Structure 1
Amino acid sequence: MLAGLSPARRRLVLGLLAALVVGALAVTAAVLVPRLTTPAPATVSQTEPGPVLLVPGYGGSTTGLQQLADVLTAAGRDATVVALPGDGTGDLQAAADVLGDAVDAALDRTGADGVDVVGYSAGGVVARLWAAEDGGAAQARRVVTLGSPHHGTTVADLGASLAPDQCPEACRQLTTSSDLLRRLNADDETPAGPTWVSIWTEDDQTVTPPTTAELEGALNISVQSVCATSSVSHGQLPTDPLVQGMVLAELAAGQPVELGPADCTRLSS
Structure 2
Amino acid sequence: MFASLSPARRRLVIGVIALVLVGVVALVVSVVLARNTNTPIAQVDQSLPGPVLLVPGYGGSTDALEVLADRLRAEGRDATVVALPDGGTGDLMDQASTLEDAVDAALTRTGATSVDVVGYSAGGVVARIWAADLGGAEQARRIVTLGSPHHGTQVAGLAAQFLPGQCPTACQQLAPDSPVLTALNADDETPAGPEWVSIWTEVDQVVTPPTSASLDGAIDIPVQSVCADSTVDHGNLPRDPLVGAMVSAELNGDSTTQLGAGDCTGLSS
Return the TM-score normalized by structure 2: 0.89
Distance 1:24 1:79, change over 3 A: same
SS in 1 for 2:87: coil
Structure 1 residue 39 displacement after superposition: 2.4
What residue number does 2:217 align with?
Answer: 217
* Structure 1 residues 203 and 3: CA distance shift in structure 2, 3 A: same
Aligned-residue offset at 1:69? 0.4
Structure 2 residue aligned with 1:242 = 242
Counterpart residue type for residue 89 of structure 1: T
- Mapped to 2, the partners of 1:206 and 1:30 lie a distance apart of 50
- Distance in 1 of aligned mates of 2:85 and 2:7: 76
8 Å CA contact 1:200, 1:222 repeated in 2:
yes
Instruction: Give 1:41 shift.
Output: 2.2
Q: Note the C-alpha offset of 1:29.
A: 9.3
1:63-106: per-residue Cα shift (whole Å, max 9, x none)? 00011000000001111000000210000000000000100111
Cα-to-partner distance string for 1:24-68 (whole Å, 9 max, x where unaligned): 799979987886643222431012111100000000000000110
Please tell me the residue identity of whatever aligns with 2:185. N
Check the 8 A contact 1:99/1:127 in 2, yes or no.
yes
Check 1:245–1:21 CA distance in 2 against 1; reply closer, same or farther (3 A cut).
same
1:115 equivalent in structure 2:
115
Q: What residue ranges of structure 1 are gaps of 5+ in the alignment?
A: none
Aligned residue number for residue 139 of structure 1: 139
Contact 1:241 1:268 survives alignment (8 Å): yes
Matched AA of 1:123? G
- SS of 2:182's partner is helix
CA displacement at 1:4 relative to structure 2: 6.1
- Partners of 1:85 and 1:21 lie apart in 2 by 53
Q: Which residue in the other structure is 2:90 paired with?
A: 90
Tell me which residue corresponds to 2:157.
Answer: 157
**1:51 corresponding residue in structure 2:** 51
- Look up the match of 2:148: 148
Residue-by-residue CA offset, 1:7-26 (whole Å, 9 max, x unaligned): xxx9xx9xx99x98999799
Q: What secondary structure, in the 3-state scheme, does the structure 2 residue paired with 1:257 have?
A: coil
Residue equivalent to 1:76: 76
Q: Secondary structure at the match of 2:181?
A: helix
| Whole-angstrom CA distance in 2 between matches of 1:95 and 1:180 | 13
Letter in 2 for 1:110: T
Counterpart Cα distance in 2 of 1:183 and 1:201 = 25
**Residues 184-207 of structure 1, C-alpha deviations (whole Å, 9 max, x = no match):** 000100011111000000110000
Equivalent residue, structure 2, for 1:60: 60
1:170-181 equivalences under 5 Å are: 170-181=170-181
Partner Cα separation in structure 1 for residue 182 and residue 19 of structure 2: 48
| Offset of residue 135 of structure 1 | 0.6
Matched, 1:41 2:34: no
The answer on whether the counterparts of 1:53 and 1:82 sit within 8 Å (CA) in structure 2 is: yes
What's the Cα RMSD here?
Answer: 2.5
Q: Aligned partners of 1:97, 1:105: CA distance in 2, in Å? A: 12
Q: SS where residue 124 of structure 2 aligns? A: helix
- Greater CA drift, 19-28 or 219-228: 19-28
- The question of whether the paired residues in 2 share the 8 Å contact of 1:46 and 1:253 is answered with no
Counterpart CA distance in 1 for 2:90 and 2:44 is 31
Number of residue pairs matched?
Answer: 262
Which runs of 5 or more structure 2 residues have no equivalent in the other structure?
none
Looking at structure 2, the residues matched to 203 and 137 of structure 1 have their Cα atoms a distance apart, in angstroms, of 30
| Aligned equivalent of 1:264 | 264
